[in-house]
Amino acid sequence: MGFEDLARVVESRLDRRKFQDQHWSGTFWEYLDLCAQNPSVVRNAYQRVYDAIVSRGFEKYKLFKKDCIRYHFFSDPFDNGADGIYGLDFALMTLVDFFRSAAEGYGTDKRILLLHGPVGSSKSTIARLLKKGIEHYSRTPEGALYSFSWLLDEHCEVRGASAGAERLAAMTHEFPCPMHEEPLVLVPREAREDLLVKLNERFKPEHHHGKLRVTGDPDPFCRRIFEDLMRFYEGDWRKVMAHVKVRRIILSEKDRVGIGTFQPKDEKNQDSTELTGDINYRKIAQYGSDSDPRAFNFDGELNIANRGICEFIEVLKLDVAFLYDLLGASQEHSIKPKKFAQTHIDEVILGHTNEPEYKRLQSNEMMEAFRDRTIKIDVPYNIRLDDEIKIYQKDFGAERIKNIHIAPHTLEVAAMWAVLTRLEEPKKAGLGLMQKLKLYNGRSIPGYTEDSVKELKEEAPREGMTGISPRYIQDKISNTLVSRQAVDERAINPFMIVNELESGLSHHSLINDEETKKRYRELLAVVKEEYEDIIKGEVQRAISADEDAIRRLCANYIENVRAYTQKERVKNRYTGRDDEPDERLMRSIEEKIEIPESRKDDFRQEIMNYIGALALDGKKFEYNTNARLYRALELKLFEDQRDTIKLKNLVSSVVDDETQAKIDVVKQRLIKNFGYNETSATDVLNYVASIFARGDKKSK
Give the per-residue pLDDT at 163: 43
Residue 163 resides in a domain: yes
Residue 233 resides in a domain: yes
Residue 520 resides in a domain: no
Q: Which residues of 640-664 are buried (b: 16+ CB within 10 A; e: fewer)?
A: ebbeebbbbbbeeeeeeeebeebbe
- What is the enclosing helix (H) or strand (E) of 174? strand 173-176
Give the per-residue pLDDT at 700: 35
Residues contacting residue 145 through CB under 8 Å, at least 6 positions apart: 41, 43, 48, 138, 182, 248, 249, 251, 307
Q: In the chain, what's the furthest Cα-to-Cα distance?
A: 122
Cα 319 from Cα 273, distance rounded (Å): 13
Alpha-helical (H) ranges within 511-599 are: 514-543, 547-565, 583-590
Strands 578-579 and 570-571: antiparallel
Residue among 22, 20, 13 at smallest CA distance from 141: 22
* Vertex 136: Cα angle to 135 and 142 (nearest 5): 105
Mean pLDDT by 10 residues, the chain (700 residues): 58 70 91 95 96 95 85 94 92 96 93 94 95 96 95 76 48 89 94 94 88 93 93 91 95 95 76 87 87 92 96 86 84 91 95 89 83 93 94 89 91 96 89 92 81 87 92 94 91 94 87 89 95 88 77 87 88 74 88 86 88 85 80 79 56 63 84 90 86 55
pLDDT per residue over 220-267, tens digit each? 999 999 999 999 889 999 999 999 999 999 999 999 999 999 988 766
Query: Count of domains in the chain?
Result: 1
Residue 355 resides in a domain: yes
Residue 632 resides in a domain: no
Residue 90 resides in a domain: yes
Give the per-residue pLDDT at 408: 94
- The answer to whether the Cα torsion of 585, 589, 592, 594 is positive or negative is negative
Give the per-residue pLDDT at 169: 47
Residues 361 and 323 sit within 8 Å (Cβ to Cβ)? no
Distance, CA of 302 to chain centre: 27
Residue among 535, 537, 501, 527 at smallest CA distance from 434: 527
Alpha-helical (H) ranges within 65-148 are: 89-104, 123-137
Residues 698 and 426 sit within 8 Å (Cβ to Cβ)? no
Residue 325 resides in a domain: yes
Cα 162 from Cα 99, distance rounded (Å): 51
- pTM reported for the whole predicted model: 0.85
Cα 2 from Cα 477, distance rounded (Å): 44
Domain of residue 330 covers: 19-380
Q: Position 469: which residue type? A: S
End-to-end CA distance of the chain: 75
Cα 693 from Cα 25, distance rounded (Å): 79
Give the per-residue pLDDT at 428: 83
pLDDT per residue over 414-462, tens digit each? 999 999 999 999 988 788 999 999 999 988 777 788 888 888 888 888 8
347: domain CATH number is 3.40.50.300
Residue 622 resides in a domain: no
Cα 208 from Cα 47, distance rounded (Å): 8
Give the per-residue pLDDT at 697: 43
Cα 21 from Cα 192, distance rounded (Å): 27
